[in-house]
Structure 1
């Protein structure tokens, strides 16, 4: 066994050789790039290189009905002739079932393989896992071949072929639905769907784990042809907006309990910071069609009856009248094609709400900046930097209708207000010779703070722009000699709420010191000796009820809070984060931030600027509905749960997601059920809108169907939320035990209920292919900075990490748990260059997070979405350093937080392009800092970077191999 805990007995290598002989085409498809050599360098080319990626491919989902085999949809005329209860659907032949979130199912197999990281679909011809990498390395790396895949993931629409990928051809359960064209279809009479196949594998035979699985879409949702009204492939919402932990729902509560699998929805209503980056249909009908019983919105999965005059709700079964205007375009005054309506074709739509959905006119965008002006913010340069960043981004604030309002409040041991109202003429217009120097007023009463002026504190951005600019120009100078080290942040929050409570809006706090006076004052309670012990649990709980109690009042007034915290000392993030947590805000933590470092200034400027520019939804509520047989039983994320099923958001952020736990109450008899999430909100353009997200999922009473369609990434998101909840309520040890025991229960159930073959004496860990990454992700949760047992992690770091884990959308969450690792010294020729077709920068192939993949002569990039490390091996040759950084020695390279030197060498340009691509996001504000790490450099920095290798032993945790063998021993006990 190697030092990293993986078996080295030659068995895996033999399997690889056998697989290579079976799949010569996989190696023929490898990229044999021409790379420059450096023969004159004094370098030991016999140094140990990373072990070959010896895992074999795994079988996949497979087994769904082919779209080409779908029967014709019933015709309109035939439906009319069938009587009043006949199903009313458009007479379009060859109507396919829902393709859910599985895109481009009609594409050739090789195109799908390219799209999903070298995976084969349907016919099993392409290898599963990472594509083979070219052997040659210009910087001394030994030959590396990343092994070919095995049986392919089936696309779920046809039987798996028996091609070279090893897919199993099985057409025995592909049956006709028995629906002839023009005949009504009874949904309850549809024969059993050939759902995703269950493929078994041994986890210990697939080491290192195939990390390409982490980029896969969920198992396909397979619905019968009559489930949706039209042929639209987007009838089911894309998994970016809503995904279910189980893409086949158990038909009863006992089966769900028996499976040990969680049933939950992961909802992200917005996937871009700006509306222009999304392509969502907008319906401007003033008469919104909703079920009169359950209040669900009409969607692609309803049924029309009575010759199309009525529609049957797919959630509760109630029959409703079709509005008279439903088939008439009142805007253009013409008859509308019913089947072209967006709400009957798309799983995600926006409705423009009529006045009946408004309690009051839509509120304007309102921003109150609470700025720490104490000596701490002067010393680290925060106040001057923030003033400049806000001024530079005033034009980016949502203000298309000139209704945006702003206010500024300074705080140390007093509260400072600024009169920003311009002088006006008798007719009310702004005087041209108005004095642009704003006046400042101080309030020293911290226990009962008050507003010193009735007007002039909260002003229109457009009308008073010169006064605002003048204040921001002078703000840094105004307090430059301040020596007051106190911070009355709680009192400032209280008075900021009083200022905007009649309107609502957003309070943005920027603080670099612990609130130690006034309302909600806190004390430094962290003791380094308590870290890593049971006493640490108390540090993750709030020390003052002020910040949690105020959340209800703030939420009722439609006021949300965001915290930007910059202290280099203890700041009690655990307490301060409660107000953002329950007002739909976020806590951003910048430990050790200082304006003297350009990297810190750039990070703050980018993140604060993106935060201010995002188009928020105001006065928002989220309600999730399901069929009568299910109930929404748990809600996780940053919001306030106003009632049993209504989540309240004073402002709806665009970079967060939410987990809704689902309970089955009654037996489900339908072949599929639906879930629908609706967000009622006001836009920045003063419109009241409703975003409706709908998915339908098949049901089954067979445990293999449930396991074969489980979404491992969605399950990880659910388990992460449960771990955060447990850590905040009970402790870190209990949080780690919770996720471990849930995984153990799932594996035990799989072994007991689904394993029918004799596994012999090898005692493998058997699991289904579609969930084979779940143990790796659970291991990553346990090792994450939020939960890892360690005496070196400050409580502020843990608390800020928990805040991120509670809100990150699934792609960013998975990356935060299992970071990406790229090998830069031997990346393919196309990596770091624009793709010829898309123009997007091509990223290198990802590498497993284990020290066995790190060569001492190599150059690597690690990133988890929040931080990046550029790792330079101790034996990196001088030519690599020259090509990558333009320096003749790596000793001249800056280490720690820094940007790489810019030079015009091709390798440097490609590395900088890769870093820029990673930082480029349309749906997240984070600008990851870059840390340059030399393997023989500063030990603390090297140790920090090494904790990202979650497959290795870190602190008091096990290697992934040891983690699996421990699970195996418990399963076989």
Structure 2
């Protein structure tokens, strides 16, 4: 969808007395700024002093999709020499955050990052795929300072945001696979051969681009590009030389044992709360519907089911061929020293051989627990026995619960609301701290045994997510939280969201026994790691299972001056697939270096930088280094630090001595995003915030991919009544005063979709979208748009909603329900029923929280935030 502005084609004329309120020029200005941003941020500029006339002539503005491939003509087959390359960098432009007429230019949030401009001659085979795409890896700096002193002076961290997998299913656009077993690595630093090595002339040797060591090439490689050029053993045709993102089929020496089968061990809460609110029934129904979708590519996937309240209920499912034997139930009441009632092989049943019997069992399971036996949940005991079941093989533990783990040796206490404690210095020690060391220690033991834990938690009661979320955090898993099961307005969508997301989770591919390591050039070192894994050593991240919907942040630093024109980063991921295969996935990135301050500023990727700050700050909150108020102060401090240094070292004195709030155009959205971060549930002030919601938000921010992080921090607002086509839908600022009271808007915050109908909407709009003529007839709440035959506008709105959902479906398990909300109108007290007004009041609270630029949560607006920020810049 485009974010530029076109003429309004939908004939929505407000009542005469309101016609003058439509600010058409506003959207035109926003579109102009967005187009200017594309030009300024994404067209590399050659240095005239170092360029030939022919090079300057060829450096005309290109589309963003072509920028990365600038100057590529035909694939070049020649040894690389060490001659100085033509220096090409992004050009720096500055903006005054206070003087721009309409702030901020939200179109910048959709722009690609500043291009990583690496000369083609640095590659063995010049191509667009020779350097890693920003889909896989993004650097906060796309031009690295050559000196340590310059890097430290900038105060802009050097970090990588990594998303090794782009889709939930591995057959969706996979990278090239090298399956011949030939893996070439440097003898000293162990880096893998890649598109940026140097071929040593007149020899069969290559020089490592990481440590500069000369290595031998395998004798089977052809080194003449014209000698059998299509043969896989021709060096110039090999996938690892042509592509920065590539996979290898790992030989046996990369495995300590044969790849294990995928194992799903379900721990299902059957306490009173879980049965009453529908979680238990929804879990069983979803499992029944999803059996055929569970990854079983090698037909070796195993499953176990344990139901838990104050007793552990185990089930043995016979093979489909065993027609006479029925499923067997075992019950263990000893929670102090729980044990498995039978052998592991009887409790772990092969999915391919028990599918029919399993379906029959799941159909009957709700009847077994139709009458709740207790309102307790023995999570610890069930985890210990499941660990015993999986410890020799590894696998997934999937917990579905609506109850606090309140029985057994490490039972957790019910939270007693302490007025005034939230958002104070004591909040961490009393509320966000892990309440029992078992949950961290057990997670680490699981990681060592290749066992991961995923949590699906439902209900509005206190569940101590701050404690139990440690289980997924250190094993590569995730915590999914559904708090609206008791909300009369949201309960239906909460149930549907749970069922849909659990279904997508079950179908998602994942890998086992995974480790990830970053190798970097001389002068650079890895410093910190953020994400859901266990940091097994100084540079090795261990994952019991590797999901497809998470991202990771590695912080780097300069420990010495850089002498070369580029630095290199290689992310190596070793894992086992559900195909009885061990694979290596490589992601290689080359980044140019510079000694010019302005070139560094012009290369900043503000979305990657914001992601780093989000991970760093929320990680420190979870790790007890920061209180929530200190975290908000750190948000402001980091902005002040960066902007002060920029204005001191780059900006000349302003006319009249007036101090302006200037920043690089590549960072103009950073203040907005940081301000919105301080308003997020993770950091916002307010004594009424649920501590479970706070803990869940902090947890999510540790793993959420960039595009969904940005969308959750700053919702996208589409102005539908100005829409020309589905692909040309205007976006507007997330600020209520920017909305026309006769308009139609779609709000997307990554979790929910809100269709906001202006309180002065004209009958023609209502007829075309909802097939009604008055506002009280518009369906409100969680409801899908009706199909209206002959209405192109209705079709376009439905298409936009579906396009958003399709994008999310490909790479996230998130399901986005649609809520229809009507904005305030002058006569609503007399035209709407009491029930409608009650629903609208509830829905508006949820929807209005998305207008993040405004003064909400008792916090300043974005304009006020800039004013205060400006006063602190020295």
Q: Same fold (TM over 0.5)?
A: yes
CA displacement at 1:918 relative to structure 2: 1.3
Q: Give, in whole Å, the separation in 2 of the partners of 1:758 and 1:892.
A: 57
CA displacement at 1:339 relative to structure 2: 1.0
Query: Structure 2 length as normaliser, TM-score?
Result: 0.90
Q: Give, in whole Å, the separation in 2 of the partners of 1:896 and 1:513.
A: 28
Q: Give, in whole Å, the separation in 2 of the partners of 1:500 and 1:791.
A: 42
Q: Give, in whole Å, the separation in 2 of the partners of 1:335 and 1:818.
A: 47
Q: Does 1:112 align with 2:7?
A: no
Q: Give, in whole Å, the separation in 1 of the partners of 2:523 and 2:59.
A: 37
2:379 to 476, 481, 489: 489
Match of 1:915 in 2: 801
Q: Does 1:620 align with 2:514?
A: yes
Gap runs ≥5 in structure 1:
1-28, 72-93, 98-104, 116-120, 122-153, 159-180, 424-429, 832-841
Q: Does 1:683 align with 2:577?
A: yes
CA displacement at 1:51 relative to structure 2: 7.1
1:964 to 857, 866, 872: 866
Match of 1:367 in 2: 264
Cα deviation code 1:786-844 (max 9, x no counterpart): 111122321111111112211111111111111100122x132312xxxxxxxxxx362
Q: Give, in whole Å, the separation in 1 of the partners of 2:487 and 2:685.
A: 33
Match of 1:434 in 2: 324
Kept in 2, the 8 Å contact 1:348–1:693? The answer is yes
2:523 to 624, 629, 642: 629
Match of 2:132 in 1: 237
Match of 1:228 in 2: 123
Q: Give, in whole Å, the separation in 1 of the partners of 2:305 and 2:487.
A: 21
Q: Helix, strand or coil for the counterpart of 1:510?
A: strand
Match of 1:854 in 2: 739
Q: Helix, strand or coil for the counterpart of 1:473?
A: helix
Cα deviation code 1:502-541 (max 9, x no counterpart): 1111111110111111143212225162334444333222
Q: Helix, strand or coil for the counterpart of 2:588?
A: strand
Match of 1:381 in 2: 278
CA displacement at 1:486 relative to structure 2: 0.6
CA displacement at 1:939 relative to structure 2: 3.3
Match of 1:166 in 2: none
My pick for the range that moved more, 799-808 or 320-329, is 320-329
Q: Helix, strand or coil for the counterpart of 1:632?
A: strand
Q: Helix, strand or coil for the counterpart of 1:456?
A: helix
1:935 to 823, 826, 829: 823
1:950 to 852, 859, 873: 852
Q: Give, in whole Å, the separation in 1 of the partners of 2:417 and 2:543.
A: 36
Q: Give, in whole Å, the separation in 2 of the partners of 1:893 and 1:340.
A: 61
1:448 to 324, 330, 337: 337
Kept in 1, the 8 Å contact 2:621–2:627? The answer is yes
Kept in 2, the 8 Å contact 1:488–1:518? The answer is yes
1:293 to 164, 182, 188: 188
CA displacement at 1:277 relative to structure 2: 1.0
Kept in 2, the 8 Å contact 1:562–1:580? The answer is yes
CA displacement at 1:50 relative to structure 2: 4.8
CA displacement at 1:967 relative to structure 2: 1.4
Kept in 1, the 8 Å contact 2:512–2:546? The answer is yes
CA displacement at 1:467 relative to structure 2: 2.2
CA displacement at 1:37 relative to structure 2: 5.6
Match of 2:828 in 1: none
Q: Give, in whole Å, the separation in 1 of the partners of 2:121 and 2:361.
A: 63
Kept in 2, the 8 Å contact 1:421–1:457? The answer is no
2:478 to 586, 590, 609: 586
Q: Give, in whole Å, the separation in 2 of the partners of 1:444 and 1:508.
A: 21
Matching of residues 753-764 of structure 1 within 5 Å: 753-764=649-660
Match of 2:444 in 1: 552
CA displacement at 1:660 relative to structure 2: 0.3
Kept in 1, the 8 Å contact 2:423–2:629? The answer is no
- Distance verdict in 2 for CA 1:324–1:196, change over 3 Å: same
Match of 1:346 in 2: 243
Match of 2:834 in 1: none
Q: Helix, strand or coil for the counterpart of 2:157?
A: coil
- Distance verdict in 2 for CA 1:759–1:351, change over 3 Å: farther
- Distance verdict in 2 for CA 1:335–1:307, change over 3 Å: farther
Q: Helix, strand or coil for the counterpart of 1:620?
A: strand
Q: Give, in whole Å, the separation in 1 of the partners of 2:131 and 2:47.
A: 18
1:844 to 713, 729, 744: 729
- Distance verdict in 2 for CA 1:284–1:532, change over 3 Å: same
Match of 2:827 in 1: none
Q: Give, in whole Å, the separation in 1 of the partners of 2:871 and 2:465.
A: 40
- Distance verdict in 2 for CA 1:857–1:295, change over 3 Å: same
CA displacement at 1:705 relative to structure 2: 1.6
Kept in 1, the 8 Å contact 2:451–2:544? The answer is yes
1:803 to 674, 699, 710: 699
Match of 1:500 in 2: 390
Q: Give, in whole Å, the separation in 1 of the partners of 2:230 and 2:854.
A: 67
Question: Which structure dedicates a bigger proportion of its chain to helix?
Answer: 2
Matching of residues 633-712 of structure 1 within 5 Å: 633-712=527-606
What's the RMSD between the two structures over aligned residues? Answer: 2.9
Match of 1:816 in 2: 712
Q: Helix, strand or coil for the counterpart of 1:408?
A: strand
Q: Helix, strand or coil for the counterpart of 1:922?
A: helix
Kept in 2, the 8 Å contact 1:599–1:899? The answer is no
Q: Give, in whole Å, the separation in 1 of the partners of 2:80 and 2:509.
A: 44
Match of 1:520 in 2: 410
Query: Structure 1 length as normaliser, TM-score?
Result: 0.81
Q: Give, in whole Å, the separation in 2 of the partners of 1:275 and 1:337.
A: 28
Q: Give, in whole Å, the separation in 2 of the partners of 1:637 and 1:554.
A: 17
Kept in 2, the 8 Å contact 1:51–1:852? The answer is no
Match of 1:747 in 2: 643
CA displacement at 1:725 relative to structure 2: 1.4
Match of 1:150 in 2: none
CA displacement at 1:292 relative to structure 2: 0.8
Match of 1:274 in 2: 169
CA displacement at 1:900 relative to structure 2: 3.7
- Distance verdict in 2 for CA 1:519–1:930, change over 3 Å: farther
CA displacement at 1:185 relative to structure 2: 6.3
Q: Give, in whole Å, the separation in 2 of the partners of 1:620 and 1:379.
A: 39
2:754 to 869, 894, 897: 869
Higher RCO (CA 8 Å, separation ≥ 6 residues) = 2
1:611 to 500, 505, 508: 505
Q: Give, in whole Å, the separation in 2 of the partners of 1:783 and 1:183.
A: 54
Q: Give, in whole Å, the separation in 2 of the partners of 1:765 and 1:787.
A: 25
Q: Give, in whole Å, the separation in 2 of the partners of 1:290 and 1:948.
A: 50
CA displacement at 1:475 relative to structure 2: 1.4
- Distance verdict in 2 for CA 1:64–1:47, change over 3 Å: closer
Match of 1:261 in 2: 156
Cα deviation code 1:256-315 (max 9, x no counterpart): 110010101111110111122123100012121000111100000000114250110000
Q: Give, in whole Å, the separation in 1 of the partners of 2:363 and 2:426.
A: 46
